[in-house]
Amino acid sequence: MATPAPAIRHIPIERTMSLRSRLILGYGIVVSLTLVFGLFTLFHLRDIRDRLEALSANVTIDAHHSIEAITAVADAQRAIDRYLQQPNERNYQDAVRQLDMLQRTIDRLERDTRNSAMVSHLRRIKNQTVAYRQIFDDAYNGIVSQQRTRDDLYTSFLQQYQTIEQAVSNARPTSSSDYLALMDLSRASARLQLAYVWIGRMQSEDTTIAADNALAELRQARTFLRRYLVLNSNPRVVRPDDLERLQSVSDSFDRSLTSVTNLSSNYIRTEALINSRLKPHAAQMSRETVALSDTALMALSIAAIDVDRATVQMQAISGVVLAALLLIGITLGVLLASLITRPLNELVAATTQLARGDAAIRIQPRGGRELALLTHAFNDMAAELERERAEVRHQNALLAERAAELEHMLHQLREETAAREQLSATVRQLSVPIIPITEGVLVAPLVGEIDAERAQLLQQRLLGRIVAERAQVAILDITGVPVIDAQISGWLIQATSAARLLGARCILVGINPEVAQALVASGIDLGDLATRATLREGLEYAMRIMRAASGVRQEANGIRHAMVRVRH
């Protein structure tokens, strides 16, 4: 006997707050708080973004200024180094132009830079540039003086050398003593050449050693020349005008010695100026430009620390606000659970019992208006399900009977399908007949379209019968094949090749004009495939092959018997 349904207490639905209103109220509070938090975060993020933009602009300007200063200093130093390596007028003008550009660049950067630390560095670089320019001018004057003295020495050496050589060439020696006396002039000329070589090495090698060697060679040349003038003043050998010029050369040697000494002192002084003042000053300028770049990076680091501090502060405030929002959300969730979730859980539990078969379950309406309506709908549904359950039992009985009938029909269909498959296999076997005509000759008449499955079956059956019958000739009759394409031609060639491997030869008969054109258009090589127009011609050709094969066997047997007789 069914348990009576519990009494249901109806409440005034129109006086309760609707579920929609409760949800809107709860979500409205959450959205309002989230909006306030979003506005607060947006304000602080905009402030951080403005700081980052200002930082990026300042850092970009400072980095650009430092790069310009470094580039200008490097260009000026490269130009001066190039002049020191190749002291010519073009390199000097380039160095002066780079120094002027460096001064203009430093002046412009000093006016445009807003960073006080960088301004201090730029002022120091400016002062260093002025001193660097003065040192370079002193070095330039020393190098110009070197070049002038060296050119004068080269000119003097050339005149002295030419005078001595001309006197030797104009001499008229008559005795061995005259020749020995002229050797002093040749030695003086050779020493003069060595002095010239050592002067050329004064700039590339040790200046002091090269100068001492040049002075020694020059003194030796002077000694040889004066000894000749003292001991051999006979105008018979050397002409009087040559003797006067040689005397003038001897007097000029003292001036050359003084010039070599001055040139050596100038080289040493200029080299000391370059090594002790110019290069250290250049290194100091480079260090100052590096300090300028470090100052720009330091400003970036300080600004980044400020932004990081503001970001940490923003994260702390955001964490507090998020914690407050989380607490409010939890509170609202608990309230909504008590107002909405509890009635829904009761409804879910009742639905579970209803699904298990307890159709007499009923629940008390509570919560908002929508939940009350849902509860009444559930109670009505439970009553309706109780009424429909009996109808379902009746329908299940009918369905069981119908299932038994369908099972019997399915068994009959399976038997019919098995019979149909067996019939299909028999038809496929009969669609590819292999007929033995005579001993060693098979005929395979092909009728209808040939697909991949039928071509595979043809090849299997043909090769099997060739082996079973020991056939030597297989005739493929394609009179009944309506269409021959490239794929079918390939299958025929494969079957022919396989039969040849087994010792049998294939003959293709029944080719009509359309099939011949199709075979030619397919482009397949049919050179190894014998063809005949009709089956009769194919049989005649097969019989000739068999007779030829028989004659060959008889001849082979005769040869074998003859060889046996010969052995005996």
Tell me the pTM.
0.44
Domains of the chain (ranges, CATH numbers): 147-273 (1.20.1440.210), 433-567 (3.30.750.24)
What is the predicted pLDDT for the residue at 419? Answer: 65
Tell me the per-residue pLDDT of 30-41, one tens digit each, with 9 for 90 and over: 677 777 767 767
The answer to whether residues 519 and 489 touch, using CB atoms and an 8 Å cutoff, is yes
What is the predicted pLDDT for the residue at 398? Answer: 80
**CA distance to 76, 111, 359, per residue, from 116 (Å):** 25, 11, 89
Q: Is the pLDDT of residue 483 over 50?
A: yes
Tell me the per-residue pLDDT of 268-294, one tens digit each, with 9 for 90 and over: 888 888 888 888 888 887 887 877 777
Tell me the per-residue pLDDT of 114-172, one tens digit each, with 9 for 90 and over: 777 778 888 888 888 888 888 888 888 888 887 888 888 888 888 888 888 888 888 77
| Residue 133 tokens, joined | 């320019």
Of residues 441, 439, 458, 436, the one with CA closest to residue 449: 458
Long-range pairs of 491-497 with CB within 8 A, sequence gap ≥ 24? 491/450, 491/452, 491/455, 491/458, 491/459, 492/529, 493/524, 493/525, 493/526, 493/529, 494/459, 495/455, 495/458, 495/459, 495/462, 495/463, 496/528, 496/529, 497/528
Q: How far, in Å, CA of 496 to CA of 504, rounded? A: 9
| DSSP-H helix ranges across 274-337 | 279-336
What is the predicted pLDDT for the residue at 22? Answer: 63
What is the predicted pLDDT for the residue at 286? Answer: 80
**CA distance to 58, 464, 469, 472, 532, per residue, from 503 (Å):** 95, 13, 12, 6, 20
Q: How far, in Å, CA of 288 to CA of 290, rounded? A: 5
Q: How confident is the model at residue 340 (pLDDT cuts 50, 70, 90)?
A: low
Q: How far, in Å, CA of 22 to CA of 18, rounded? A: 7
Q: How confident is the model at residue 15 (pLDDT cuts 50, 70, 90)?
A: very low
Of residues 237, 145, 136, 117, the one with CA closest to residue 184: 237
